[in-house]
Amino acid sequence: MNAPLTATPTLEVVNVTKAFGPQPAVDGVSFALAAGEVLALLGPSGSGKSTLLGLIAGLDTPDAGDLRWAGASLRGVPTHRRGFGLMFQDYALFPHKDVAANVGFGLRMQGHKRAAVAAGVAEALALVGLSGFERRDVNTLSGGEQQRVALARALAPRPRLLLLDEPLGALDRALRERLLEELHTILRGLKQTTVYVTHDQEEAFALADRVLILHQGRVAQSGPPAEVYARPASRFVAEFLGLHNLLPARLAVQNLAGGATGLVALTDAGQLPLAAEDVPPGLRGAQAVTVVVRSEGVRLAGPDEPADLEGTMLDKSFRGNRHRVSVRVGQADLVVALEAGQPLPAVGERLRLRLSPHAVTVLPEAAPDA
Amino acid sequence: MDRRVKLPRRPALGLWLFLLPAAGFLALFYFFPLATIAQVSFARAAGGLAAVLAEVAGSAVVRGIFAFTVWQAALSTLLTLAVGLPGAYLLARYRFRGQGLLRALTAVPFVLPTLVVAAAFNALLGPRGWVNVGLMAAFDLSAPPVTFVNTFGAILLAHVFYNTTIVLRLVGDFWSRLDPRLVAAARALGASPARAFREVTLPLLAPALGAAALLVFIFDFTSFGVILVLGGPRFATLETEIYRQTVYLFNLPVAAVLALIQLLCTLGLSVAYTRLSARVAAPLNLRAARDTRQPLRTPRARLTAGLLVGGLVALLVLPLAALALRSVVRLDAERGQSGPVQTGFTLAFYQELGQNRRNNLFYVPPTAAIGNSLAAASATVALALALGLPAAWAVAAQGSREAKRPDATSAAALALDALLLLPLGTSAVTLGLGFIVALDTPPLDLRASPLLLPLAHTLVALPFVVRSLVPALRSIRPRLRQAAAMLGAGPARVWREIDLPLVGRAVIVAATFAFTLSLGEFGATAIIARPEHPTVPVVIYRLIGLPGALNYGQALALSTILMVVCTVGILAIERLRVGEVGEF
């Protein structure tokens, strides 16, 4: 599924900077996009992702750096000549035009004849499941329908790059789930090169070949979703991705049974075993770091198994396929997700836990409160 | 991105230049005439202002007139609310077929000339109206059994007819955007439907309700044609008294003092209205009307809706239908003809409009009046747009910058927006009077100028023009232009595809408002129109005052023509309007 990064780059963002005040909104960002790739710009509000999108669209010009398409600079190319499509968060449908006129707008701008425009409109509407909506007034559509019209309008002229600015942001959760599925199918089906801006990691992970996490205008981390999730590069990324159990730690080498040596992290919750590939290179010895204990990487230890962690259960709540359990291990409180369908001790009782491989990841930063 | 995209800074000087024409116009043709009225009150009176004031204040007649003015306006307002609120509820909470048409139809009376309204009620309930003719025929009566014209009831009914649409609009639109879950929440907490209405809906509606009531009161307080024609000589309000003192008694000082009294009252009311309507615009968590309206499901809901729709149609459409029908039917005996009355379809009243039967040199055939009206209305449209477009642009531009940096320019734009409303709250007769006393010395001697009428009409039309244009200009968000550019439209194409159609519709709406208001304007026109160049309403008034079926028939025919033009106009406005919430 990952688009090969050796393919010809389409869009290249080279060291782009843009400031509106003293603080740059986008600060030296670089990345390249392969044909057919879906890239998610992920970050909290104020991280610069929408500004970056505006720069790509040509609605703003960068203060420094360059944007290129297939090697040629986009500097001086006005928005309407870039051949990109943009879907706005609030859709920006033309209130004085009906659905067909909205969707067909870009085709008309390309100089297509009336029949070709109508065919393109029908095709785009079919793609988003709104066939037959041609003559409807856009002001009377529901939020989900407006969203689909906006998507059809952006897709109809076959843009060489599609830009989506929080396209599902204004919708309720159930509708979002459904449209997310559809959007995935549509983008894959069209092999549409896409930049998708969102603050929602679930959306980004579900849609993107690659995510680019922005923090204060800079790239905090980029890579395929699974990789980013497995190896967050910083505390910020780990917290932004919703990972729990960030503990201050020191690394140590320990003799294991059988004469081998292994890395462990010394934390308030005791010694945690580490796999070598979960430790960033260059970190050895007694260095202060932060470790992440993944809540889903923990299970109940069997009666005959040794426990990696042992503590007191503080609280539990049922979450469908999981129990979310708070447990005090040593001086640290951890949140773990235990598979449902097995008997759990009562609150206040002892809990013996085992860590699965790769349950603990090391971040090369000391915890601020350590 | 939205937050960061910066609009190009518009030079403040440009805004000032845009505000200038409308501001200058207002100064010259509103404040200057009014100030002159005040000054005349001092100067022309023999014993000075004190004597006139003493005369007016000491006069039991004037006190009676004032009391009656307030009383009829208050009662009319209450009745209008009583009729309008159920209708507002219907339009706000339910979705049914023909809703749009009903909404548009209810707006028709608002732009109808008072004289047409008077003629319409006359055609329905007057001595020669349908009801009386029908009753006389059915029971073989020799005299009309229903007395309507020249009664207090006629005034009240006409005022309700006129202003119900204000309640429907202001209250109904606001109501339709109130979150219905608020009432549901109250019900879930144990409130009965009546209790939920009293505790939740009513307090939330209060600002809209108050604004509507005030606006209706202002219009009733300064009502002219209705009192003059339907009330007859027995009833006098400040407005008709100003007219009588000016035109029949030539007592300008007394007229001026009365006008000042009236102006002070409406000024206070207008300020209160502006305050209240600002609260209507204040952000409650409003929702789109389409989410709050529900279809009529139960038979009871259908029955209620049917009755309400029927009532509204009977009140608002029946008189107009009666007028149109009456203008093509001969019911009376021809002059000198005795015996059975010959009845039937006739176009005689329309044919008569172009003929000068009396060969009177000073007689103006009604067709010439139509020409005068059209000329005045066209000039009003041109003038109102020329002044209103720049002003609306400045006001709209101010609105988008408001949050960022309030400065002198934006304050001026806001002030102008409010000032433009003033002529609406000022009686038309007072305006006309002001024109006569103020614009009589060179270089500003406009008494004989054909521009006098358009100038006066523009004062009345300008607030409507600006208010139609501003929301449209504001609705062109930079986002729409960006979206068009993303789809490949160059700057010129963006202007043609986005700006022009959106503003174009609003310009048509504004022009139509100016046109219909000018066509129907009677209060100011009655005073300033030159006798040899009357407009249609003036001729209707003259014809109504003349005896004979033919004159009456011509008045009906002219009224019908005016009604059709205004109805077409308002329906076009309803069709082309941008945005959901109606504004006054």
Partner A contacted by B497 (CB < 8 A): yes
CB B164 within 8 A of CB B315: yes
Across the interface, which of B5, B477, B505 has its CB nearest the CB of A96? Answer: B505
The dihedrals phi and psi of B35, each to the nearest 5 degrees, come to -65, -40
- What is the CATH T-level fold of the domain A9-232, as seen in this structure? Rossmann fold (3.40.50)
- On the question of pLDDT at A103 being above 70, the answer is yes
Q: Kindly state the average pLDDT of the residues A204-229.
A: 93
Q: What are the Cα distances from residue B526, in Å, to A247, B502, B534?
A: 87, 37, 9
The reply to whether residue B489 touches residue A88, judged by beta carbons under 8 angstroms, is: no
Q: Give the number of C-alpha atoms closer than 13 A to the C-alpha of residue B494, restricted to the C-beta side.
A: 18
The reply to whether residue A92 touches residue B480, judged by beta carbons under 8 angstroms, is: yes
The pLDDT tens digits for B529-574 are: 777 788 888 888 888 777 777 777 888 888 888 888 888 877 777 7
Q: Which two tokens stand for residue A345?
A: 């001790």
pLDDT at B46: 61
pLDDT at A15: 94
Distance CA A332, CA A248 (A): 10
CB B121 within 8 A of CB B230: yes
The pLDDT tens digits for B316-370 are: 888 888 888 888 877 654 444 444 455 677 777 777 776 655 555 556 677 788 8
E strands present in A70-191 = 72-73, 84-87, 161-165
CB B469 within 8 A of CB B506: yes
In this structure, the answer to whether residues B419 and B310 fall within a common structural domain is no
Number of neighbouring beta carbons within 10 Å of residue B566: 23
pTM: 0.65
In this structure, the answer to whether residues B250 and B391 fall within a common structural domain is no
Last residue of a domain, one of B291, B326, B361: B326
The reply to whether residue A59 touches residue B479, judged by beta carbons under 8 angstroms, is: no
User: Residues B229, B233, B234, B235: what is their CA dihedral angle, to the nearest 10 degrees?
Assistant: 60
The alpha-carbon gap from B294 to the nearest alpha carbon of chain A, in Å, equals 14
| Residue B382 resides in a domain | yes
Nearest chain A alpha carbon to B487: A106
Q: What are the Cα distances from residue A278, in Å, to A167, A233, A362, B512?
A: 35, 11, 6, 74
Across the interface, which of A25, A106, A109 has its CB nearest the CB of B4? Answer: A25
**Degrees to nearest 5, angle at CA B431 with B426 and B436:** 165
Q: Kindly state the average pLDDT of the residues A270-275.
A: 82
- On the question of pLDDT at B13 being above 70, the answer is no
Q: Is residue A243 helix, strand or coil?
A: coil
The reply to whether residue B501 touches residue A88, judged by beta carbons under 8 angstroms, is: no
Q: Which of A96, A37, A28 is nearest to A65 (CA)?
A: A28
Across the interface, which of B5, B486, B498 has its CB nearest the CB of A86? Answer: B486
Distance CA B15, CA B410 (A): 9
**Degrees to nearest 5, angle at CA B230 with B132 and B583:** 115
Most confident of A330-339, B78-87, B502-511: B78-87
Q: Kindly state the average pLDDT of the residues B360-382.
A: 80
Q: What residues form DSSP beta bridges with A329?
A: A332
A chain contacts of residue B480, beta-carbon cutoff 8 Å? 92, 94-95
Across the interface, which of A85, A95, A105 has its CB nearest the CB of B484? Answer: A105
Interhelix angle B500-520/B99-111, nearest 10 degrees:
50
- On the question of pLDDT at B583 being above 50, the answer is no
Q: Which two tokens stand for residue B289?
A: 């009307």
Most confident of A40-44, A241-245, B240-244, B247-251: A40-44
A chain contacts of residue B483, beta-carbon cutoff 8 Å? 86, 88, 92-94, 153
Number of neighbouring beta carbons within 10 Å of residue B295: 10
Distance CA B531, CA B537 (A): 13
Q: What residues form DSSP beta bridges with A360?
A: A293
Q: Kindly state the average pLDDT of the residues B524-528.
A: 82
Q: Is residue A251 helix, strand or coil?
A: strand
pLDDT at A247: 86
In this structure, the answer to whether residues B296 and B374 fall within a common structural domain is no
CB A313 within 8 A of CB A327: yes
Size of interface A-B (CB pairs under 8 A): 88
SS3 per-residue string spanning B212-266:
HHHHHHHHHHCCCHHHHHHHCCCCCCHHHHHHHHHHHCCCHHHHHHHHHHHHHHH
For the residues of B498-533, what is the DSSP string, one character each? IIHHHHHHHHHHHHHHHHHHHHH--HHHHHHS-TTS
The dihedrals phi and psi of A369, each to the nearest 5 degrees, come to -95, 5
Of the candidate ranges A11-25, B90-104, B276-290, the one whose mean pLDDT is the lowest:
B276-290
Q: Average pLDDT, whole number, for chain A? A: 86
What DSSP designation does A296 have? G
pLDDT at A99: 94
Distance CA B86, CA B171 (A): 10
Instruction: Report the percent of chain B where pLDDT is more than 90.
Output: 7
What DSSP designation does A276 have? G
- On the question of pLDDT at A222 being above 90, the answer is yes
Q: Kindly state the average pLDDT of the residues B199-220.
A: 86
Q: Is residue A350 helix, strand or coil?
A: strand
Q: Is residue A171 helix, strand or coil?
A: coil
In this structure, the answer to whether residues B173 and B121 fall within a common structural domain is yes
Q: Which two tokens stand for residue A240?
A: 């932004």
Q: Which helix (H) or strand (E) holds B131?
A: helix B130-139
Partner A contacted by B290 (CB < 8 A): yes
Determine the structural domain holding residue B496 and report its residue range.
Answer: 351-584
B chain contacts of residue A86, beta-carbon cutoff 8 Å? 482-483, 486
In this structure, the answer to whether residues B317 and B432 fall within a common structural domain is no
Q: Is the dihedral of CA A344, A347, A349, A350 positive or negative?
A: positive
In this structure, the answer to whether residues B312 and B379 fall within a common structural domain is no
Type of residue numbered A28: G
The alpha-carbon gap from B187 to the nearest alpha carbon of chain A, in Å, equals 25
Distance CA B449, CA B489 (A): 48
β-pairing, A161-165 vs A194-198, is parallel
Q: What strands, in cross-sheet order, belong to the sheet with A270-273?
A: A270-273, A261-267, A246-255, A288-293, A360-363
pLDDT at B407: 58
Instruction: Characterize B151-177 residue by residue with b for buried, 16 or more Cβ atoms within 10 angstroms of its Cβ, and e for exposed.
Output: beebbbbbbbbbbbbbbbbbbbbbbbb
Nearest chain B alpha carbon to A104: B487
Distance CA B136, CA B130 (A): 10
Last residue of a domain, one of B326, B343, B361: B326
CATH superfamily of A246-363: Nucleic acid-binding proteins (2.40.50.140)
Contacts of A112 (CB under 8 A, 6+ apart): A120
Spell out which chain A residues touch chain B, with contact meaning CB-CB distance below 8 angstroms.
20, 25, 50-51, 53-54, 57-60, 78-81, 83-86, 88-90, 92-96, 105-106, 109-110, 140, 153-154, 157, 163, 165
The pLDDT tens digits for A328-342 are: 988 888 898 888 888
CB B287 within 8 A of CB B92: no
The dihedrals phi and psi of B582, each to the nearest 5 degrees, come to -70, 145
Q: Which two tokens stand for residue A272?
A: 């945690």
A chain contacts of residue B506, beta-carbon cutoff 8 Å? none
In this structure, the answer to whether residues B393 and B446 fall within a common structural domain is yes
In this structure, the answer to whether residues B389 and B519 fall within a common structural domain is yes
Distance CA B570, CA B577 (A): 10
Q: Which two tokens stand for residue B58?
A: 């000491």
Residue B228 binned pLDDT confidence (cut-offs 50, 70, 90) = confident
- On the question of pLDDT at A66 being above 90, the answer is yes
The dihedrals phi and psi of B359, each to the nearest 5 degrees, come to 55, 35
pLDDT at B296: 73
Place of tokens 């609705």: B475
Distance CA A312, CA A348 (A): 6
| Domains of chain B: total | 2
Q: Kindly report the length of chain B.
A: 584
A chain contacts of residue B475, beta-carbon cutoff 8 Å? 95
Q: Which two tokens stand for residue A205?
A: 């992970």
In this structure, the answer to whether residues B214 and B259 fall within a common structural domain is yes
The pLDDT tens digits for B256-304 are: 788 888 888 887 887 777 677 666 654 455 555 555 677 777 788 788 8
Last residue of a domain, one of B266, B292, B326: B326
CB B481 within 8 A of CB B498: yes
Q: Which of B495, B491, B467 is nearest to B577 (CA)?
A: B467
Q: Which of B126, B11, B2, B5 is nearest to B397 (CA)?
A: B11
Q: Kindly state the average pLDDT of the residues A235-253.
A: 86
pLDDT at A5: 47
Q: Which two tokens stand for residue B157?
A: 């009914």
The dihedrals phi and psi of A259, each to the nearest 5 degrees, come to 85, -5
Q: What residues form DSSP beta bridges with A13?
A: A31, A67
Q: Is residue B432 helix, strand or coil?
A: helix
What DSSP designation does A301 have? P
Place of tokens 């009655």: B526
CB B366 within 8 A of CB B350: no
| Residue B336 resides in a domain | no
pLDDT at B8: 41
The alpha-carbon gap from A282 to the nearest alpha carbon of chain B, in Å, equals 39
B chain contacts of residue A93, beta-carbon cutoff 8 Å? 483
Give me the CATH number covering residue B51: 1.10.3720.10
Most confident of A219-223, A291-295, B254-258, B260-264: A219-223
Q: Kindly state the average pLDDT of the residues A18-35.
A: 91
Residue B111 binned pLDDT confidence (cut-offs 50, 70, 90) = confident
Across the interface, which of B4, B483, B505 has its CB nearest the CB of A92? Answer: B483
Q: What are the Cα distances from residue B214, in Å, to B209, B259, B368, B425, B550?
A: 9, 20, 39, 11, 41
The reply to whether residue B483 touches residue A86, judged by beta carbons under 8 angstroms, is: yes
- On the question of pLDDT at A271 being above 50, the answer is yes
- On the question of pLDDT at A258 being above 70, the answer is no
Most confident of B148-152, B421-425, B476-480: B148-152
In this structure, the answer to whether residues B161 and B34 fall within a common structural domain is yes
In this structure, the answer to whether residues B264 and B316 fall within a common structural domain is yes
Contacts of B3 (CB under 8 A, 6+ apart): none
Question: How close are the terminal C-alpha atoms of chain A, in Å?
Answer: 40
In this structure, the answer to whether residues B275 and B394 fall within a common structural domain is no
| Residue B230 resides in a domain | yes
Question: How close are the terminal C-alpha atoms of chain B, in Å?
Answer: 35
The reply to whether residue A110 touches residue B488, judged by beta carbons under 8 angstroms, is: yes
Q: Which of B204, B259, B209 is nearest to B77 (CA)?
A: B209
Distance CA A330, CA A310 (A): 8
In chain A, where are the structural domains located? 9-232, 246-363
The pLDDT tens digits for A142-177 are: 888 999 999 999 999 999 999 999 888 767 788 888
Nearest chain B alpha carbon to A47: B1
